[in-house]
Chains A and B, each alone.
Chain A
Amino acid sequence: MSDDLILSLLWVVPLGGSLLILGLPRDDRLVKSFALGVSVLTLGLAIWVFGLYVGGANPPAVSALRDRAAANRIAEADQVGGAWQVTDVPGDLVVRHPWIPLFNIEYLLGVDGISLSLLLLTGLISVLACLASWTIDKQVKGYFSLFLLLLASMMGVFLALDMFLFFVFFEVMLLPMYFLIAIWGGENREYAAIKFLLYTLFGSALILVGILVLYFWGGDATASVRGQPFAAHSFDMMHVAEAASTTSFYGVPVQTVVFGLLLAGFLVKLPSFPFHTWLPDAHVQAPTPISMILAGVLLKIGGYGLVRLAWPLAPAGAYAWSGFVAALGVFSIVYGALAAMAQTDFKKLVAYSSVSHMGYVTLGMAAMGLFGRDGSIDPRYYAYGVNGALYMMLAHGITSAGMFFLVGVIYDRAHTRDLAKLGGLWNVMPIYGAIGLVIFFGSMGLPGLCGFIAEVFVVLSAFHFNRLLAVVAALAVVLTAGYILWTIQRVWLGRNDHWKGLPDMDRRELVIAAPLVVLTVVMGIFPQAILSWASPSVERMVTDVANAPTVRAVEVADQAVAAEQGPAAEPDGWVELAETASRR
Chain B
Amino acid sequence: MSEWPGWLYVASVLIPLGAFVVEALFGRWLKRFNAYLATAAIGTSCVLSLVGLVLFLPHFGTTHAGAEAASHHAAEHQAASEHGAGHAEPYAWRGSVPWVVIGPMGVGPEMPGRADRGLPPLVIPLGIHIDGLAVIMFAMVSLVATLIHVYSMEYMRDDPRYPRFFTYLSLFCFSMLGLVASANVFMVFMFWELVGVCSYLLIGFWYEEKKNTDAANKAFIVNRVGDVGMLVGLGILWSVFGTFTIADLNRALADSSLRDEQHRLTRVVAGDELTLQLSETSLDGDEPTPRPVQIPYGLLVIAGLGIFAGCVGKSAQFPLHVWLPDAMAGPTPVSALIHAATMVAAGVYLVGRFYPLFTHEVLLYIAYTGGITLLIGATIALVQTDYKKVLAYSTVSQLGFMMLGLGVGGWAAGLFHLITHAFFKALLFLSAGSVYHSVHTYEMPVLGGLRSKMPRTALCMLIGTLAISGVPLLSGFYSKDAILASSLAFVREYPGQFLLFVVPAVGAVLTAFYMFRMWFLIFDGDPRGEAGQGHAEVHTAHSGVASGVDAEPGTADSGAAAHGADHSGHHNPVEHAHESPPTMTIPLLILAALSIVVGYPLSLLPLPGLGAEWTTPVLERAIESAEPLPALDVSETKWLALAASIVIAAVGIGAAAGFYSRWRIFDPASARRGLAPLYEFFTRKWYFDELYELVLVRPTLALGRSIRDFDLRVIDGVVNGMAWVTRRVSDLGGLFDRYVVDGAVHAVALVLGGLGLVVRSLQTGQVRAYLALLALAVIGLFVGMYAWVR
Contact = CB atoms under 8 A, between A and B. Distances in A.
Nearest to A577: B302
A547 B113 CA distance: 8
Interface string A478-489: 110110011001
Nearest to B711: A277
Nearest to B223: A481
A427 B208 contact: yes
B239 A464 contact: yes
Interface in B707-725: 707-708, 711, 715-716, 719, 723
A373 B294 contact: yes
A275 to B, nearest CB: 9
Contacts of B612: none
Contacts of B715: 274, 276-277
Contacts of B300: 573
Contact of A460 (B225, B239, B701, B708): B239
Interface in B180-235: 189-191, 193-194, 197, 200, 204, 207-210, 213-214, 216-217, 220-221, 224-225, 227-228, 231-232, 234-235
Contact of B297 (A380, A424, A573): A573
A20 B4 CA distance: 64
Nearest to A383: B102
A458 B224 CA distance: 18
Contacts of B194: 446-448
Contact of B707 (A339, A369, A452, A546): A339
A531 B100 contact: yes
Contacts of B103: 380, 383, 539
A540 B236 CA distance: 26
Interface in B255-296: 272-273, 294, 296
Contact of B116 (A195, A274, A378): A378
Interface majority SS on A: helix, strand, loop or mixed? helix
Contacts of A452: 190, 193
B99 interface: yes
A67 interface: yes
Contacts of B114: 377, 547
Interface in A312-338: 335, 338
A416 interface: no
Contacts of A143: none
B370 to A, nearest CB: 23
Contacts of A572: 272, 296, 298
B651 interface: no
B309 to A, nearest CB: 11
Interface in A245-287: 246, 274, 276-277, 280
Nearest to A424: B208
A550 to B, nearest CB: 13
B75 interface: no
Contacts of A495: 208-209
Contacts of B704: 338-342
Interface string A439-476: 00100001110001100100110111001001100110
Interface residues of A, number: 81
B101 interface: yes
Nearest to B186: A456
Contact of A540 (B107, B111, B113, B217): B107
Interface string A541-584: 01110110100000000000000000000011111110000000
A540 to B, nearest CB: 5
A467 B236 contact: yes
B129 to A, nearest CB: 19
Contact of A342 (B224, B272, B273, B708): B708
Contacts of B209: 495
A224 interface: no
A255 B506 CA distance: 67
Contact of A547 (B116, B189, B701, B716): B116
A467 to B, nearest CB: 7
Counting contact residues on chain B (CB < 8 A from A), the size range is: 35 or more
B115 interface: yes
Nearest to B305: A573
A376 interface: yes
A277 B102 contact: no
Contacts of A485: 200, 216-217, 220-221
B703 A544 contact: no
B236 A463 contact: yes
Contacts of A528: 98-101
Contacts of B107: 64, 536, 539-540, 543
B210 A494 contact: yes
A276 B714 CA distance: 13
Nearest to A340: B704
A343 interface: yes
Given A381-B239, A481-B220, A543-B108, A387 B102 contact: yes
A573 B301 contact: yes
A275 B107 CA distance: 36
B784 interface: no
A198 interface: yes
B122 interface: yes
B121 A341 contact: no
Given A341-B701, A571-B273, A446 B197 contact: yes
Interface in A329-388: 335, 338-343, 369, 373, 376-381, 383-384, 387
Contacts of B193: 446-447, 452
A145 B220 CA distance: 46
B700 interface: yes
A89 interface: no
Given A373-B294, A377-B116, A489-B217, A470 B235 contact: yes
Nearest to B303: A573
Contacts of A486: 217
A543 B105 contact: yes
A67 B121 CA distance: 23
B34 to A, nearest CB: 14
A361 to B, nearest CB: 17
Nearest to B197: A446
Contact of B228 (A446, A475, A527): A475
B106 interface: yes
B541 interface: no
A277 B232 contact: no
Given A339-B711, A544-B108, A531 B102 contact: yes
B239 A477 contact: no
A235 interface: no
Contacts of A376: 115-116
A527 B102 CA distance: 11
A12 interface: no
Contacts of B207: 426, 492-494
Nearest to B244: A460
B238 interface: yes
Contacts of A426: 207
Given A527-B99, A544-B108, 9 more contacts: A64-B108, A277-B719, A341-B704, A342-B708, A463-B238, A531-B100, A540-B108, A547-B113, A571-B296
17 contacts: A67-B109, A274-B715, A339-B707, A342-B708, A369-B239, A377-B114, A379-B116, A453-B100, A456-B231, A460-B234, A460-B238, A467-B235, A467-B236, A474-B232, A481-B221, A486-B217, A572-B298
For the complex of A and B, 7 pairs with smallest distance between CB atoms: A573-B298, A463-B235, A447-B190, A342-B704, A341-B704, A493-B207, A342-B708
Interface of B: 98-103, 105-109, 111, 113-116, 119, 121-122, 189-191, 193-194, 197, 200, 204, 207-210, 213-214, 216-217, 220-221, 224-225, 227-228, 231-232, 234-236, 238-239, 242, 272-273, 294, 296-302, 700-701, 703-705, 707-708, 711, 715-716, 719, 723
Interface of A: 64, 67, 195, 198-199, 246, 274, 276-277, 280, 335, 338-343, 369, 373, 376-381, 383-384, 387, 424, 426-427, 441, 446-448, 452-453, 456, 459-460, 462-464, 467, 470-471, 474-475, 477-479, 481-482, 485-486, 489, 492-495, 527-528, 531-532, 535-536, 539-540, 542-544, 546-547, 549, 571-577
